[in-house]
Homo-oligomer: A and B are copies of this chain.
Amino acid sequence: MQQITATELQTKAQRTKIRQNKKVLDLHAVKVACKECSLHQLCLPRSINGADLEKLDNIIERKRPLKRNEHLFQVGESFQSIYVVRSGSLKTYSPTVDGQEQVTGFHLPGELLGLDAIGKGKHPCAAKALETTSICEVPFENLESLSQELPTLQHQLLRLMSKEIFDDQELMLLLGKKTAEARLSAFLLSISLRFKQRGFSSIEFYLSMSRNDIANYLGLAVETVSRMFTRFQEDGLIEVERKHIVIKNREVMRQIAGMNECCEDDTQVN
């Protein structure tokens, strides 16, 4: 992404010119950056025109990248914005009574964070970068009032929230009913699908989260997850070396995961 930096040496006229250029460049950059983003349809609904796009562009802030283990927000922090992952990844987690943490989700490029905070006005979970991660911040108040103007934006926002509910229910099913191997298999397929939807390889990828995080997320012990990785490799379902994963037999993995047909071929971007 190109960036023009204004210096103290510039004249006012120069600065104005540069700012105008910057605007144009940014608008272009947004289009490119958001192409594979789950806000794609939100940012660039089919019918959106230049003026609307600019309106949206005006409310989106691009934050400095987070380093590994840095927090995007903490538990209990007041809710101000929805966040979109531009690159990298994060985990969200909540504290439990016994001082442990419960990992509630992983967030890959193009995915949203913060939707669960609208209700109470504060974040029920914390978000921590798993690697160097860059983020778009969308101040919720602005998004809400802009949605008031742009029906397609309101619709897209509701769709995304609905999808979040739907996905959570899938996970509940996983946690409630499935064996350890079904859980891990479903997890890997889910990551694979999400990479695919963003235009990355669905058969070969790096997991940015630790075995511990995976285990926590899936409601299993680390040791169990580790054993399952080993078993999957022995059975020729995957190749695994540390964080690098290659899916070798997606079909059998699907069977093990006991996946619904509805999730098999989810080619929709969101």
Residues of A at the B interface (CB closer than 8 Å) are 94-98, 100, 102, 104, 115-120, 124-125, 144-145, 147-148, 151, 154-155, 157-166, 168-169, 171-173, 175-177, 217-219, 258-260, 262, 268, 270
Q: Are A259 and B97 touching (Cβ within 8 A)?
A: yes
A-B contact pairs, 15 of them (CB 8 A): A96-B173, A97-B260, A100-B177, A104-B169, A115-B165, A116-B169, A118-B159, A119-B166, A147-B154, A154-B154, A161-B161, A164-B165, A165-B165, A175-B175, A176-B219
Q: Are A169 and B168 touching (Cβ within 8 A)?
A: yes
Contact A173/B260 with A144-B155, A148-B151, A154-B148 known, Cβ cut-off 8 Å: no
The CA-CA distance from A119 to B268 in the complex, in Å, is 11
Q: What is the minimal beta-carbon distance from A78 to any residue of chain B, in angstroms?
A: 14
Residues of B within 8 A of A151 (CB): 144-145, 148
Q: Are B258 and A96 touching (Cβ within 8 A)?
A: yes
Q: What is the minimal beta-carbon distance from A117 to any residue of chain B, in angstroms?
A: 7
Q: Are A172 and B168 touching (Cβ within 8 A)?
A: yes
Number of copies: 2
Counting from the closest, the 4 A-B pairs by CB-CB distance are: A176-B219, A118-B162, A168-B168, A119-B162
Q: What is the minimal beta-carbon distance from A71 to any residue of chain B, in angstroms?
A: 18
Question: A125 touches which one: B125, B169, B175 (CB < 8 A)?
Answer: B169
Other contacts beyond A118-B159, A118-B162, A119-B160: 9, CB < 8 A: A104-B172, A116-B165, A120-B163, A147-B154, A148-B154, A161-B162, A171-B172, A172-B172, A175-B175
